[in-house]
Structure 1
Amino acid sequence: MTSHLPQTVRSDARDNRVRILDAARVVFGEGGLSAPMREVARHAGVGPATLYRHFPTKQALIVETFAEQRRACRAAVHDALADSDPWHGFRSLIERICELHAHSRGFADAFMAAFPEAMDFAADQQRTLRAVGELARRAQETGRLRPGFVVDDLILMLMAHRGLQDTSRAARLTASRRFAAYVIEAFRAAPETGAPAPLPPAPHLRLTHAPGTP
């Protein structure tokens, strides 16, 4: 019986790690990176000591929690740069970045370096900005991207996109697709001939009022 104990302990540790990461994706995904570690532990059903044994710092937990999104971001950059049509590659990168940010408020926070302990994401951010710059140069040479576009426009776009985080997840995803479509049209050098492409469905959003206002 004793011989099985180490294997059982390892299995329990693996299970705890999986529960912690699943909980972190939910807690950080909806609440952003300001959500406390104790909320992650509570959601995972483990004690704080167990959480810190697996992830000694919040930074370590954040990096591991969003590892999949970071891989997806790198893949989006790679695919866009490899696209034989620079304008299509540029558009697809904008769409995929918006989608990744819409899925998780925490990933959007980390990517935008809004949280001090998430600076490990700086490399992903810089890689994406360089890719956008290269794609923009190529797309402008084809005449399909407006000549005035600069990389800072992507940052401006993402800052505006973060305003969607206060909506429900379903509405956020729908709104993100429509937002990306409008932004791409704004970046286009000239309208396409013929009827414009249909926009994605509009989300059902409601304005919120400050306390005490009608």
Structure 2
Amino acid sequence: MNLNNVSLTVSAVDMKQYPKTNFKEIAFAGRSNVGKSSLINKLLNRKSLARVSSKPGKTATINFYNIDNTMNFVDLPGYGYAKVSKAEKKKWADMIETYLNTREQLCQVILLVDSRHTPTENDITMLRYIRACCERAVVIATKCDKLSASQLNEHLSDIIKTLSLSGDDIIIPFSTVNGTGVEEFYAYIEEVLEIEV
């Protein structure tokens, strides 16, 4: 897979706009401002392919990123942003639910949580969706560079307990600052999803 050959294919608001490709898709879900866009940029070694905003709630579309005509990364709208209207929240929730329930190319949804905080009720709900459509739960704990090693271990234990992760589930500490977790992510892609990187 050539990471030099990546592009934003489409920003979709309904299923008619999804790419007409058969590539395997990995979707990233998480609350607003958890760092999905920054993570995608880091994984693809780009500075600004995925638009990063300091204001949460900015990703209001489902963004499909084509990677070397081999697979798609899919950035789902963030959830849990308090300053968005109920109508807007429902629109985003429906958008996410439609994608999760209808997209045959989807092979894994990855839940992003902030390593510094206990997962929210919204995170727990999203993980239930993930368990319904995927064989295992895969969780990326972002911003781990902001914690000491002992703090990180403590917080990871809290995340594992709160989300009831077990056996086949995977948790990857991740930092866009120092690159922690990038190798582990691609090892998972190769070993579990059998996509050559």
Question: Same fold by TM (over 0.5)?
Answer: no
**Larger helix percent:** 1
**Larger strand percent:** 2
TM-score by length of 1: 0.28
Q: Larger relative contact order (C-alpha < 8 A, sep ≥ 6)? A: 2
TM-score by length of 2: 0.30
